[in-house]
């Protein structure tokens, strides 16, 4: 992807360390508004570490530049990155017994706008989002991920994304373990975010979500680097041939 000067998400020459171990080894990723980028790669290649570091994980050290809508955010704590419009959908969302979905999302919205939100207005907003995504209304009264199936956990990630309306959406294996109905719900939410101008990055192992969410660019992530980038056909090639034939010698600078 050519550098247009001010992409919505501008990740340049990023390295990520866990203690003294370098896991991400110099990644450049430029995402424009309304674009979908897919990152595919073998287990242990650093994809999830990369996503967590961009969100500001406190146990990871990030070196390099991360600009969100032109603003440098690499030194900001996670909550400030979220306020600026960065959203990370987790691969393994945690359960929070005793905290309802509705209460959690309302608190997140109030934290972002630094003030109380009308309960009536929020209920209308939540109800509309649930209806739009085809999720039962009673979902909002359940405790966060407590007793949720894998598909319900991923639906909750998409519901949060829908209501928070982030500028950049980074989804870490959002499609893992989903049945076809949950996959369609997730894809619907992603496409809505894209159509509204968000930049979307999908970390995935599988082609199937890309049948529902068409990527503009597919990147191959291996040994802490983006080693190859291409169009949607890249994902089909990976499914057919695997990752073994792609090495660091194929390096294309940061997916450009």
In tens digits, the chain (256 residues) has pLDDT values of 444 458 999 999 999 999 999 999 999 999 999 999 999 999 899 999 999 999 999 999 999 999 999 999 999 999 999 999 999 998 889 999 999 999 999 999 998 887 899 999 999 999 999 998 889 999 999 999 999 998 899 999 999 999 999 999 999 999 988 888 889 999 999 999 999 999 999 999 888 899 999 999 999 999 999 999 999 988 888 878 888 766 544 444 333 3
Quote the CA–CA distance of 79 and 9 in Å, as a whole number.
Answer: 17
Confirm if 155 and 185 have CB atoms less than 8 A apart: yes
Confirm if 31 and 51 have CB atoms less than 8 A apart: no
Quote the CA–CA distance of 219 and 102 in Å, as a whole number.
Answer: 35
Structural domains in the chain, CATH included, are 9-94+166-255 (3.40.50.300)
Which among 105, 117, 96, 86 is positioned nearest to 201, based on CA atoms? 86
Which among 32, 45, 41, 161 is positioned nearest to 93, based on CA atoms? 161
Which structure tokens are listed for 175? 């499609």
Confirm if 47 and 39 have CB atoms less than 8 A apart: yes
């Amino acid at each position: 992807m050519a550098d247009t000067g001010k992409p919505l998400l501008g990740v340049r020459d990023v390295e990520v360390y866990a203690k003294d171990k370098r896991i991400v080894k110099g990644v450049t990723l430029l995402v424009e508004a309304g674009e979908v980028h897919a990152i595919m790669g073998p287990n242990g290649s650093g994809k999830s570490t990369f996503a967590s570091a961009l969100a500001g994980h406190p146990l990871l050290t990030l070196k390099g530049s991360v600009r969100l809508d032109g603003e440098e955010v690499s030194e900001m704590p996670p909550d400030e990155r979220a306020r600026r419009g960065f959203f990370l959908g987790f691969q393994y969302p945690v359960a929070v017994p005793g905290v309802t979905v509705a209460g959690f999302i309302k608190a997140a919205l109030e934290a972002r706008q630094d003030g109380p939100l009308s309960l009536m207005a929020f209920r209308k907003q939540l109800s509309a989002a649930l209806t739009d995504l085809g999720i039962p209304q009673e979902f909002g009264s359940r405790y966060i991920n407590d007793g949720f199936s894998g598909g319900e956990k991923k639906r909750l990630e998409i519901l949060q994304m829908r209501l928070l309306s982030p500028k950049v959406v980074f989804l870490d294996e959002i499609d893992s373990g989903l049945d076809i109905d949950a996959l369609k719900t997730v894809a619907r939410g992603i496409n809505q975010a894209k159509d509204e101008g968000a930049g979307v990055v999908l970390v995935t192992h599988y082609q199937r979500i890309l049948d529902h969410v068409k990527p503009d660019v597919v990147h191959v992530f291996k040994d802490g680097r983006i080693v190859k980038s291409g169009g949607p056909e890249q994902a089909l090639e990976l499914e057919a041939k695997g990752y073994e034939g792609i090495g660091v010698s194929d390096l294309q600078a940061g997916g450009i």
